[in-house]
Amino acid sequence: MLKPMNPMNPLKPLNPMHVPMFNPRNYPVSCRQMLLGLAGLPWTLSLMRMSRRRARGTLLVLCYHRITESVSAGGFCDDHYFITLPKRVFSSQIRWLTRHYRVVGLDEVLSGRPLPPKAALITFDDGFRDVAETAFPVLSSFGLPATVFLIGSVIREKRIPWITRLHWLLDHARERNADAGCVDILGDEARSGNNRRDGIPGVLASLKPLLKRRDIHEIDERLACLEERLGIEAPHNLLGQRFMDQEQIARLAGHGWTVGNHTDHHLNLASLGDGRVCEEIAHAGDTLAAMPGYRPVLALPFGLAGSFTSATVDIARRCGMRLVLTSLGSPNRFPGQGILLDRVICETFSGLYFRFLASGGRKAVKSMLDKTMPSNSRRTT
């Protein structure tokens, strides 16, 4: 079975936009890694304790995508390139969260009133069906609300998001043992990329970043070309299988959940002109304003460095967004300055690593490295 790992460095994921760390399905655990992890454990624990003490006056925003009943649910691409957690892991993360933080709803964050000393907000991106079917019962058992960021065109046009369509096609290409060359729809441009790798995982790894630089009509053209070459087409019921319907969204809203804006087509906003960024946010806002529980808050698609600029945030503000959420991975000082809030992507099976992330460990390590070792000298080593 092909594994989508980087042969040069198994710790480095193929997809730079979604960083699947510590997911046992993605990485072999070598003895060396395990020993290194154990050696760093006391240091990690003390850093987490220190970070948690400092967490008073902060807002931790967690970002989830899919929560599945079992580890094996989902296809090849979804398993490895999408952020999927089994219910068991999700439940234990939420249990830990309730012991150390006060989970608040989006309305409390937007109210302008002071938040509890250690506040946390739970969010889900894209509106996957298993959020309503699997995550909702878990959160309900703890009496917790959450916010779901929806894609405008999924709701308005029943359009399958392009990433889901791409994943489905490559899943099926792999099932059919299709030659990777036959699905290489970007040709020389993809071949000249530094991250070119073999097989379907390689195609996905090189194709997705290239498609992220394009607007929706160009992506549609490429995907139609891929469908033609493979002789298959993503089925219309894929949307219903993967994404929440309006009834489910209304049910969540009835239980105190809120809905936010995840743009109209889930494009990389940094690759679009200002006018198109505005359209992506405003069109989704117009569609979602009719949904129960909608709040004008934007979760940036992809959300990592390179997927937005300061101009993107300005445009979002002008489009009426009250908050703009990234996926940069740190708790926030709250109230902070401006409308930008970071989120921690919860893509880890490791309880310890989840606590490390939630405690702001990543930021603490980064600032410690910045102080002790200037970034220039780190780059050269």
Site residues, Zn ion (CB under 5 A): 125-126
Nearer to Zn ion, 126 or 264 (CB): 126
Q: What is the DSSP-derived secondary structure letter of residue 323?
A: E
Using CB positions, name the residue nearest to Zn ion. 125
Q: What is the CA radius of gyration of the chain?
A: 20
Shortest Å, Cβ 4 to Zn ion: 19
In this complex, which beta carbon is closest to Zn ion, that of residue 163 or of residue 207? 163
Q: Which is nearer to Zn ion, 125 or 184 (CB)?
A: 125
Contacting residues for 248 by C-beta, under 8 A, at least 6 apart: 129, 132, 133
CB atoms near residue 261 (< 10 Å): 30
| Shortest Cβ 307–Zn ion spacing (Å) | 10
Structure tokens that stand for 361 in this block: 């460990």
**Residue among 261 and 332 whose Cβ is closer to Zn ion:** 261
**What DSSP character marks residue 114?**
P
What are the CA-CA distances from residue 284 to residues 58, 134, 257 (Å)? 30, 26, 19
Token digits of residue 369: 């490295």
CB of 327 to Zn ion, least distance (A): 9
- CB 125 to Zn ion: min, Å: 4
Distance CA 366, CA 363 (A): 5
The nearer residue to Zn ion, 126 or 184, going by C-beta atoms, is 126
Q: In terms of CB distance, is 125 or 347 closer to Zn ion?
A: 125
3-state class of 293 per DSSP? coil
Which residue, 254, 212, 259, 245, is CA-closest to 81? Answer: 212
Backbone φ and ψ for 334, nearest 5 degrees, come out as -140, 135
Smallest distance from Zn ion to CB 266, Å: 6
Cβ closest to Zn ion, residue 101 vs residue 128: 128
Q: Which two tokens stand for residue 99?
A: 């012991």
Of 24 and 306, CB closest to Zn ion: 306
In single-letter form, the type of residue at position 345 comes to I
Q: Are 200 and 178 in contact (CB under 8 A)?
A: yes
Q: Which is nearer to Zn ion, 26 or 268 (CB)?
A: 268
- Provide the b/e sequence for 198-208 (b: ≥16 CB within 10 Å): eebbbbbbbbb
Residue 301 Cβ vs Zn ion, minimum distance, rounded to whole Å: 5
Which tokens hold the place of 149?
Answer: 């960021």
On the CB side of 336, how many CA atoms lie within 13 Å of its CA?
A: 14
**Cβ distance to Zn ion smaller for residue 197 or 262:** 262
State in angstroms the smallest separation of the CB of 161 from Zn ion: 8
Are 24 and 349 contacting, i.e. CB atoms less than 8 angstroms apart?
yes
What are residue 194's phi and psi, to 5 degrees?
-70, -25
Nearest approach, Cβ of residue 326 and Zn ion (Å): 12
Q: In the bound complex, what is the minimum distance in angstroms from residue 272's beta carbon to Zn ion?
A: 16
Phi and psi for 61 in degrees, rounded to 5? Answer: -115, 120
Residue 267 Cβ vs Zn ion, minimum distance, rounded to whole Å: 10
SS3 at position 271: helix
Eight-state DSSP code of residue 359:
T
